[in-house]
Amino acid sequence: MIIDAHAHVVMTDECYRIMATLTGGRNNPPTGGKLPPDDVVRRTAEGLIKQMDEVGTDVQFISPRPYMQMHSLAPANVSLAWARYVNNLIHKQVEMFPDRLKGVAGLPQFRDTSPVNCLEELDRCVNELGFVGCILDPDPTEGDGAPPPGLGDKFWYPLYEKLCELDVPALVHSAGCCHPRESYTLKFVNEASIACISLTSSKVFEDFPTLKIIISHGGGAIPYQIGRFRAGASRRGKSFDESLRKLYFDTCLYSQEGLELLFDVVGPDNCLFGTERPGTGSAFCKEWGHDFDVLKPVIEKIEWLSAEDRAKIFEGNARKLFTRAFK
Amino acid sequence: MIIDAHAHVVMTDECYRIMATLTGGRNNPPTGGKLPPDDVVRRTAEGLIKQMDEVGTDVQFISPRPYMQMHSLAPANVSLAWARYVNNLIHKQVEMFPDRLKGVAGLPQFRDTSPVNCLEELDRCVNELGFVGCILDPDPTEGDGAPPPGLGDKFWYPLYEKLCELDVPALVHSAGCCHPRESYTLKFVNEASIACISLTSSKVFEDFPTLKIIISHGGGAIPYQIGRFRAGASRRGKSFDESLRKLYFDTCLYSQEGLELLFDVVGPDNCLFGTERPGTGSAFCKEWGHDFDVLKPVIEKIEWLSAEDRAKIFEGNARKLFTRAFK
């Protein structure tokens, strides 16, 4: 089975109209938000599943489109209303195709507000809507102002407690970006790096031994820059590699060189197949003869991976982490 | 010949006393700053050269220790006084060992002030002190407040004009970092990534065809994350690889996996040997049996590099870029 653990919901014009209304009117006064009609939702989900079939993906774990989460847009009410709306949309698609799609929740994070405000929605998504995980934005200010403390800080502990209680993993993934010199796609990469280092230099996994954290986009820069952090850890008599392997990583890197380095450095036990398709990588790669985000054949042609390694990357590790997905 | 194009000056207690006085008193009123006595400077430089001899480095290009540049410490006078002081110290060491050391200037950058304030010191260093290049901090706010525009912006054009006029390269390297969740060493990496993307998506090299820019630390995340940017460029009918090869990269990555990816992705024509030794990588690597920043043997054991490739990385590319170094 091929499980794509990093994918996002496809929305329709009806959804964008709700989003635009929230953006403009700032949900102030609060406005309702009706989901698109069933037939429109079904058609959209069928379109996604057709794309999955074309590339041999059996199941996608779909979460909100990260750069559209509006985590920094005041008031907090916007983020909350939109997170609930998109989670409900995901739920509707998953209900229609329960064997092909699983829900990963967006959280109503807001700027530097404590993540305590996210617990109720996370609980609702997991316990009422059957979601199997959530995404976690390490900088809900979206670069507009001083960010909250790093993910290694106790600031995040109420959320970690809840994740452990519910036994669901979090996929670390930033949202938009307000810095003119840092596009949202570049911020994804930098925030993944910051998250890796904040977590590996913290006591989080001592305090929460069952916590499951996946860093998006192959860990940002860290597997490539590992020597720098190995040297730092070695100076303190520690092993950076050991700390890094408390984390999991997805394969949303769109080059064979990058994927090989990831598998080599963090090991196949810690990697989950993920493509974000359709998304950033949905553009034709001449060299490959298919889109950049068609990663299954790219991983299959890495000869030094064993059949067992590949099975872990494509399926086993996702099953191990997302315990609620297939029960 | 082995040229280490990314190295930093070694300072003494006398220098730290000046730095501490500037930090505390904010150079307000302005205080003088005497260089250490000749015999102390000579002993320090000899210590550095001993380290170079131990690892087979013939020449180091030494610049100010980046995280000690104090680019965000008000008033601007601090950055200016300190840049001049350290440049003078570098000059003194280089004068003592002109065949082993070459000077790379620090600039008196200050927060989001136009780099026009740096032109005089850059000119002094190159024309009066015989320096061969400079370092360039893309975020002199050091993470404290909104950064200036990215390096692709016209904000930086006065500096680029001067660099072209003087025919010296700039090594992009950030300074300290005020964000609790982003150490200076991690900021080095993220700023290298931001610089790569800002420059590759700009018209800078059309407007300054002779400009020579080296991105520190193997380009941050970008060679590893290249697929993401290849996909984006391909969507616009462009080649990201082509844009990336307008830039140069140093080898301050302390893992063989990282180095191989760098050489593979950007090619040996665009890589300059650099170690920062003594610095971040000066810690013992058990696997290698020597420090992480002893990179010559690591590069020599990469079999798929030809002798010609290695010669370019170790010497040829540095000679090509730093035209003032060996005339």
Q: What is the pLDDT of residues B234-248, one digit of tens each?
A: 999 999 999 999 999
Tens digit of each residue's pLDDT (9 = 90 or more) over A170-212: 999 999 999 999 999 999 999 999 999 999 999 999 999 999 9
Tens digit of each residue's pLDDT (9 = 90 or more) over A135-172: 999 999 999 988 999 999 999 999 999 999 999 999 99
Under an 8 A CB cutoff, do B257 and A235 touch?
A: no
E-strand spans in chain A? Answer: 3-8, 59-63, 101-105, 133-136, 170-172, 213-215, 248-250, 271-272, 284-285, 290-291
> How many other C-beta atoms are found inside a 10 Å radius of the C-beta of residue B304?
8
Q: Is B209 exposed, middle or buried, given 0-12, 13-18 or 19+ CB atoms closer than 10 A?
A: exposed
DSSP assignments along A94-142, one per residue: HHHSTTTEEEEE-----TT--GGGGHHHHHIIIIIT---EEEE-S-TTT
Arithmetic mean of pLDDT, A118-136: 98
Arithmetic mean of pLDDT, B278-297: 96
pLDDT band of B299, cuts 50, 70, 90: very high
Arithmetic mean of pLDDT, A7-27: 95
Tens digit of each residue's pLDDT (9 = 90 or more) over B111-145: 999 999 999 999 999 999 999 999 999 999 999 98
pLDDT value at residue A327: 80
B225 lies within 8 A of chain A by CB: yes
Under an 8 A CB cutoff, do A149 and B180 touch?
A: yes
Rounded to the nearest angstrom, the gap between the alpha carbon of residue A77 and the centroid of all alpha carbons in its chain is 23
Arithmetic mean of pLDDT, B83-104: 98
How many angstroms away from the CA of B217 is the closest CA of chain A?
A: 8
Tokens 């959209």 map to which residue? Answer: A44
Q: Which of residues 33-52 of A touch B (CB under 8 A)?
A: none
Q: Mind spelling out the 3-state secondary structure of chain B?
A: CCEEEEEECCCCHHHHHHHHHHHHHCCCCCCCCCCCCHHHHHHHHHHHHHHHHHHCCCEEEEECCHHHCCCCCCCHHHHHHHHHHHHHHHHHHHHHCCCCEEEEECCCCCCCCCHHHHHHHHHHHHHHCCCCEEEECCCCCCCCCCCCCCCCCHHHHHHHHHHHHHCCCEEECCCCCCCCCCCHHHHHHHHHHHHHHHHHCCCHHHHCCCCCEEECHHHCCCCCCHHHHHHHHHHCCCCHHHHHCCCEEECCCCCHHHHHHHHHHHCHHHEECCCCCCCCCCCEECCCCEECCCCHHHHHCCCCCCHHHHHHHHHHHHHHHCCCCCC
Tens digit of each residue's pLDDT (9 = 90 or more) over A221-251: 999 999 999 999 999 999 999 999 999 999 9
Under an 8 A CB cutoff, do A254 and B181 touch?
A: no
B179 lies within 8 A of chain A by CB: yes
pLDDT value at residue B168: 98
Arithmetic mean of pLDDT, B183-202: 98
How many angstroms away from the CA of A156 is the closest CA of chain B?
A: 13
Percent of chain A topping pLDDT 90: 98
Q: Rounded mean pLDDT of chain A?
A: 97
pTM over 0.95: yes
Q: Collapse the DSSP code of A61 into the 3-class scheme (helix H, G, I; strand E, B; otherwise coil) and give the result.
A: strand
Model ipTM value: 0.97
Arithmetic mean of pLDDT, B195-202: 98
Under an 8 A CB cutoff, do B181 and A224 touch?
A: no
Q: Which residues pair with A98 in a beta bridge?
A: none
> How many other C-beta atoms are found inside a 10 Å radius of the C-beta of residue A10?
18
Arithmetic mean of pLDDT, A214-220: 98
B284 lies within 8 A of chain A by CB: yes
Domains of chain A from N-terminus onward: 3-321 (3.20.20.140)
- List of chain B residues whose C-beta atoms are within 8 Å of the C-beta of residue A218: 224-225
pLDDT band of A31, cuts 50, 70, 90: confident
Arithmetic mean of pLDDT, A316-324: 98
Taking the CA atoms of residue A4, residue B222, residue A147 and residue A145 in that order, the dihedral angle to the nearest 10 degrees is -120
Arithmetic mean of pLDDT, B7-27: 95
- Rounded to whole angstroms, what are the CA distances from A3 to A131, A133, A276, A300? 15, 14, 12, 14
Q: Collapse the DSSP code of A7 into the 3-class scheme (helix H, G, I; strand E, B; otherwise coil) and give the result.
A: strand
pLDDT at B31 over 90: no
Exposed e or buried b per residue across A20-37, where buried means at least 16 C-beta atoms within 10 angstroms of its C-beta: eebeeebbeeeeebebbe
pLDDT band of B32, cuts 50, 70, 90: confident
B217 lies within 8 A of chain A by CB: yes
How many angstroms away from the CA of B32 is the closest CA of chain A?
A: 36
B228 lies within 8 A of chain A by CB: yes
